[in-house]
Structure 1
Amino acid sequence: MNILLTSGARRIDFVGFFHDALKNAGINGKVIVADPEHNAPSLQAGDENYVIPHQTDSRYMEAIVEICKKHKVKCLVPLNDWEVPKLSAHKEELEKIGVSVFTPEPNIVDKVRDKGKYRELLKSFEVKAPLSYLNIEDAVNALENNEVSFPLIVKPRNGSASIGVEIAYNVEDLKFAYELAVREIKESPLDDATYKEPEDNVIIQDVIEGEKFSVDMFNDLDGRFLTSLIRKQLDMRGGDVDRCITENPPVLLEIARRIGENLGHAGYMNTDVYYDGTDYYVIDINPRFGGGYAFSHIAGANIPAAIIALTAGNEVKDDWLTQDSDLELARHDIVVRIDKQKEKYAL
């Protein structure tokens, strides 16, 4: 069984997780890594490594399909949310050539990539989201009516990696942050990830102060909820969790179950949930295998093994779906030599 990990970037650990899962399952196969950057560290770790066009390039899907056909790929797992809309839109095409694609359907991707619709979407699941406004005028009116108060957070509706995120403490800050977010959207891949104009792709939200959690949901290929993995965030770096504690609080497990069952997505979904001392609020939903999963893997979970089993039509073991609780974990960096002989260009 050959597995394709797209946008591997720095996630050498994920390549190792899938290598180990194949070996432990007694399945012959390769872990193939693709990334648009020729010097991405993960391109040094795969059995086959491909430099592919960026997802904004019209040749992106051509490259993905070519790799899948050439290596008879059976399983595709994206590691970056920017590429998910395009992969999801071509999911049927990939499935026709025998690839199990661990991305949600396009309609689900559209829903979770738009933070402006979270309150409406999650309300039916009895899950809370922050008060949100889609323009400065509505936010100012809400401030004048004492519906919200400063500080407010300004960010892209379909954001990623903390691009264009600013905190505003007064109306002047708010206007500046809005214009800054619009400019950063125009200058980033976010502009290609939505049909909205940059000016319509900004959201202004109430700031939720308190404890922060990563809450992940994993469903099978038919959208049936299998498990959730929860980590309390202790420190962030570059938009990723740097230190955390694994936890299994019943209230968050229930929130994750509601989201996973009601969305009915295929594969992995990562969310950020904040607790203000009274209620839990979903701040962000990412329809892909989040980098924070690595903490849960060290704590005993094995979602790569579950993905391989689902692809092969085998039983998913309960042990793969659970993590040990109350473990404090932290990331560290390693250095790899960039050997260009390990890289191939897909097109």
Structure 2
Amino acid sequence: MNILFTCVGRRTYLLKYFKEQLKGEGLIVGTDMQLSAPALSVADIAEQVPSVYAENYVDVVLDICLKHNVRALICLNDLELPILSANEAQFALIGVVLIVSSQQIIDICFDKYKTAKYILSLGLRTPKTIVDYNEAVKAIKVGELSFPLVLKPRWGSGSIGIEFVDDLDEMEVVYNLLHKKVKKTILSTVSQGNDYILIQEKISGPEYGLDIINDLKGNNVAVSVKRKLAMRAGETDKAITVDNADIRNIGRIIGTSIRHIGNLDCDILERDGQYYVLELNPRFGGGYPFSYEAGVNLPKAIIEWLKGNEINSSILQPQYGRMFAKCDNVVEIVLK
């Protein structure tokens, strides 16, 4: 069973996890725009691809799937998710299972304003979020919104463009600057209209990362919760698994309602004992390694599901109180 990972970047750990669970019964194929991407050093087969926005991108990936007899494809890039999802039928025709959610689900998660509205529709809490600048100013003046505030791209990825402001003068300057900055980043390709900067209530308190796990039919099967201890470049750098039934229940509500495929990375903030859902990312996130190392063996589950087998739910339950930290290591790049 050969599995293709696209846009692998630096995610060496994820390819290693799947290779461990394949146990020699399949190959790991990796793609990236640059053959020097660190994670390609782990792949059994490395292929260079054009930008996800290139006209021939999907055709190139389809050819790679045929060339290497790929059984399943896992996408690791926010910007690529809607492109692959829109072409799911083409992959199905050649027998490739896309472990990617529907376009509707991806749209809800990628558009942070839609995310906020969706979370509220589930009866859950989320930071107050406004997309219109003038509306935000009015809310501040009548006391419905207070500083400090967070400004960030509506269609965002990682920590690109996130800013904190403490007063109206600073907010005006940063808002206008972000408008210009976003247009100079890769996010310009997905930002729509003029309202592509969000103004959001800042929640201060403990932060948690969830792996909300659904099977390949969209049924929720598990939720793993970690308390974040440190962040680096928008990703969790240190974390500890925790036993928190309230947060797990929030994850179950989201997973059961949205019916994503595979993993959904979710961020939650705590303030005064209340939990606020911040973001949803329908893919493996930077916090998943902390779950895997604590016993959440989603790679094995996915492989078994692809074989048509049932799993023992215990393989998706973490050991609580396990603390881990990421560290850099150097890998040799061998260009073939």
Q: TM-score, normalised by structure 1?
A: 0.94
Q: Please give the secondary structure, in 1, of the residue aligned with 2:290.
A: helix
Aligned residue for 2:162?
A: 165
* 1:30 Cα offset (Å): 0.5
**Is structure 2 residue 142 aligned with structure 1 residue 145?**
yes
User: Which of 35, 48, 68 lines up with 2:65 in the alignment?
Assistant: 68
* 1:109 Cα offset (Å): 0.7
Aligned residue for 1:47?
A: 44
Residues 202-248 of structure 1 deviation map (CA, whole Å, 9 limit, x = unaligned): 11000011000001211112111111111101100111111011112
2:220, 2:4 → 1: CA distance? 23
Contact 1:163 1:184 survives alignment (8 Å): no
Q: Please give the secondary structure, in 2, of the residue aligned with 1:200.
A: coil
User: Which of 177, 185, 188 lines up with 2:185 in the alignment?
Assistant: 188
2:279, 2:35 → 1: CA distance? 30
Contact 1:116 1:203 survives alignment (8 Å): yes
The worse-fitting range, judged by mean Cα deviation, of 202-211 and 53-62 is 53-62
Residues 169-222 of structure 1 deviation map (CA, whole Å, 9 limit, x = unaligned): 11121122212322232122222235x13x321110000110000012111121
**Is structure 2 residue 322 aligned with structure 1 residue 305?**
no
1:184, 1:96 → 2: CA distance? 41
Contact 1:102 1:268 survives alignment (8 Å): no
Residues 151-172 of structure 1 deviation map (CA, whole Å, 9 limit, x = unaligned): 1100011211111110011112
2:168, 2:53 → 1: CA distance? 35
Contact 1:136 1:174 survives alignment (8 Å): no
1:248, 1:32 → 2: CA distance? 35
* 1:59 Cα offset (Å): 2.1
Q: CA RMSD in A?
A: 1.3
Contact 2:221 2:313 survives alignment (8 Å): no
1:311, 1:181 → 2: CA distance? 43
1:125, 1:324 → 2: CA distance? 29
Q: Please give the secondary structure, in 1, of the residue aligned with 2:127.
A: coil
Aligned residue for 1:213?
A: 208
Q: Please give the secondary structure, in 2, of the residue aligned with 1:158.
A: coil
Q: Point out where structure 2 has 5 or more consecutive residues left out of the alignment.
A: none
2:265, 2:181 → 1: CA distance? 24
Q: Please give the secondary structure, in 2, of the residue aligned with 1:340.
A: coil
Aligned residues: 336
The worse-fitting range, judged by mean Cα deviation, of 249-258 and 322-331 is 322-331
User: Which of 128, 131, 142 lines up with 1:131 in the alignment?
Assistant: 128
1:34, 1:248 → 2: CA distance? 36
Q: What amino acid does structure 1 have at the position aligned with 2:60?
A: A
Question: Following TM superposition, where does structure 1 have runs of at least 4 consecutive aligned residues deviating by more than 4 angstroms?
Answer: none
2:48, 2:195 → 1: CA distance? 33
Contact 1:56 1:189 survives alignment (8 Å): no
Q: What amino acid does structure 2 have at the position aligned with 1:276?
A: R
Q: Point out where structure 1 has 5 or more consecutive residues left out of the alignment.
A: 342-347
Aligned residue for 2:330?
A: 335
Aligned residue for 2:6?
A: 6
Q: Please give the secondary structure, in 2, of the residue aligned with 1:53.
A: coil
Query: % of aligned pairs identical?
Result: 35
Aligned residue for 1:22?
A: 22
Q: What amino acid does structure 2 have at the position aligned with 1:287?
A: P
Q: Please give the secondary structure, in 1, of the residue aligned with 2:169.
A: helix
**Is structure 2 residue 292 aligned with structure 1 residue 282?**
no
Which structure has more RCO (C-alpha within 8 Å, separation ≥ 6)? Answer: 1
Aligned residue for 2:54?
A: 57
User: Which of 290, 297, 317 lines up with 1:295 in the alignment?
Assistant: 290
User: Which of 240, 247, 252 lines up with 2:242 in the alignment?
Assistant: 247
Q: What amino acid does structure 2 have at the position aligned with 1:267?
A: G
